[in-house]
Amino acid sequence: MRKQLFAIGLTLLTISFCFNYFLKTGFVFSTLMIILIIIGFYNTIQQKHAILRNFPVLGYFRYLFEKIVPEIQQYFIERTTDGKPFSRNQRSLVYQRAKNIDATSPFGTQLVLNQDSYEGIKHSIFPATVNEELPRVIVGGPACTQPYSASLLNISAMSFGSLSENAIVSLNKGAQKGNFYHNTGEGGLTEFHQNGADITWQIGTGYFGCRDDRGGFDGGKFAEKANLSAVKMIEIKLSQGAKPGHGGVLPASKNTEQIAKIRGLQPHTTILSPPCHSAFSDGKGLIEFITRLRQLSNGKPIGFKLCIGDTSEFENLCQEMIHQNCYPDFITVDGAEGGTGAAPLEFADGVGMPLEPALIFVNKTLIRLGIRDEIRVICSGKIISGYSILKAIALGADMCNSARGFMFSLGCIQALRCNNNECPTGVATQNKMLIKGLVVTDKSERVFHFHKNTLHAANELLAAAGKNSFAEVDINIFMRGDEFSNLADHYFPDNLTNVTKH
């Protein structure tokens, strides 16, 4: 292609000069051809990009198409049931509920139901009356002197830095109107989180907001913020589903001077939180740290968040709780399919236990050890609909957190640009021009409506199953397609014994 470039380019340039000389036209075309030939010549001698070296001009189209692959996939290739991590149908459901418009679908399901992986709710022929009151859950064990009445659905951990200031303010104001809590994420408690909503303050391995000069935990700074009236619960982040064992990641392009000042770090550098805490190093230390935080916060609910990996470690941690007679007020269980603004692909795809088996394991372990009544279990991971809430509760959760669901309510289009500061909707970026597109007054209303309408849908499903309370929900209200497969294996062959071939 290098030879063809110069041959074609010089031919077109000669023709354009002729037009310009004889007809006094072609100046713009000649200029363009000169620029293209110069670019082409440079690409033939540069040594970084093989594609451009072999295809000096046409090679740029490869980079253009690569850049817009997510858009091409979404707008021209995906079916409504496709799309990862969320399908178009799932995203549309959130948009409709956030806008408080009709969220029904026409003509019937688009899913293939006659397969082993099908899951459904066993409805009752005598449904219960739909409860119009949105459900709440009391969080706080015997050692907690300031228990908190939490909504069944709340905003999961998303830091200022990962999300824009307008996104954080919108989430907070929506949570204030809907009376549910807003988890700060490990980036710390900022002014944007303090717009009237209840707060769960997450303490990560970087101790942002309660960090001493050496990056360790500062009890004095913690107590100052933990005793704010808006802070209702404190969550210790041990690991996150999307990157367990790695620590948080904030790309340098999103680490502005404002964010660096809040976190006590250098601006415009990639922030990598440590993979583990420096305040403790084992289960014994974690339980002692919980006791310390409970004292410093004057008895507010203290819990921790984790993605399950080595199951024996969680069992040993529970034994340590029993030994010290000290229990967290809640445990947030994140699944390996959880979301993030940035993570190494190996961690996102290949580390950690998925949410469903993790919830079942945590719930059964707590029951087996006789400590389930002491602790609330919070589910975090792809909670986006009333159905996913009911399923999480059936698997062992008491309540749910959602991150990406609330991001969709803000207008997120799953552009998959969270990690490069180019989010086109102004949700997951620090680009001031893009942030301006996110109008707080409008988006906070959408956050409120998404929460309300999703919980109402959960109430409707609960009633359809003939239940009056979420406390009555267990795994027995669900059915799976493989149940019918077993039925077919045992029934239909007997039914066909008299059939003979001709």
Q: What band does 53 get if pLDDT is binned at 50, 70 and 90?
A: confident
Confidence band of 502 (pLDDT split at 50, 70, 90): very low
Q: Residue 219 pLDDT more than 60? A: yes
What's the token pair of residue 273?
């939180």
Q: How far, in whole angstroms, is CA 107 from its chain's centroid?
A: 31
Which residues are CB-neighbours of 268 under 8 A, at least 6 positions away? 252, 255, 256, 257, 260
- Cβ distance 153 to 383 under 8 Å? yes
Q: Which of 469-472's residues contact partners 24+ apart within 8 Å by CB, and which partners?
A: 470/135, 470/152, 470/390, 470/393
Q: How far apart are CA 274 and CA 211, in angstroms?
A: 13
Residue 328 is which amino acid?
P
Could you give the 3-state DSSP secondary structure of residue 208? coil
Partners of 245 in beta bridges:
none
* Mean pLDDT of the region 32-52: 75
In this predicted structure, the answer to whether residue 153 has a pLDDT above a threshold of 70 is yes
Match domain 136-480 to its CATH number in 3.20.20.70, 3.30.70.270, 3.40.50.720, 3.40.640.10: 3.20.20.70
Q: What is the helix (H) or strand (E) element at residue 479, kind and residue range?
A: strand 478-480
Q: Residue 373: CB partners within 8 Å, gap ≥ 6? A: none
Distance, CA of 166 to CA of 117 (rounded, Å): 40
Residues 97-134: pLDDT tens digits? 999 998 877 887 888 887 778 889 999 999 999 999 99
Which of the residue ranges 30-39, 275-284, 327-336, 436-445 would you say has the lowest mean pLDDT? Answer: 30-39
Between helix 386-395 and helix 355-368 the angle, nearest 10°, is 40
End-to-end CA distance of the chain: 65
Q: What is the DSSP string of 24-83?
A: S--HHHHHHHHHHHHHHHHHHH-SS-HHHHHSTTTHHHHHHHHHTHHHHIIIII--TT--
The mean pLDDT value for 49-72 works out to 74
For residue 495, pLDDT over 80 is answered with: no
Question: Could you tell me which residues come within 8 angstroms of residue 346 by beta carbon, excluding any fewer than 6 positions away?
Answer: none
Mean pLDDT of 73-92: 78
* CA atoms of 368 and 405, how far apart (whole Å): 33
**Ramachandran class of 140: left when φ > 0, alpha when ψ lies in -120 to 50, beta otherwise:** left
Q: What is the pTM of this model?
A: 0.85
Q: Where are the domains of the chain?
A: 2-67, 136-480
- The model's pLDDT over 338-380, given as tens digits with 9 standing for 90+, comes to 878 777 778 888 888 999 999 999 999 999 999 999 999 999 9
Residue with tokens 């239909």: 492
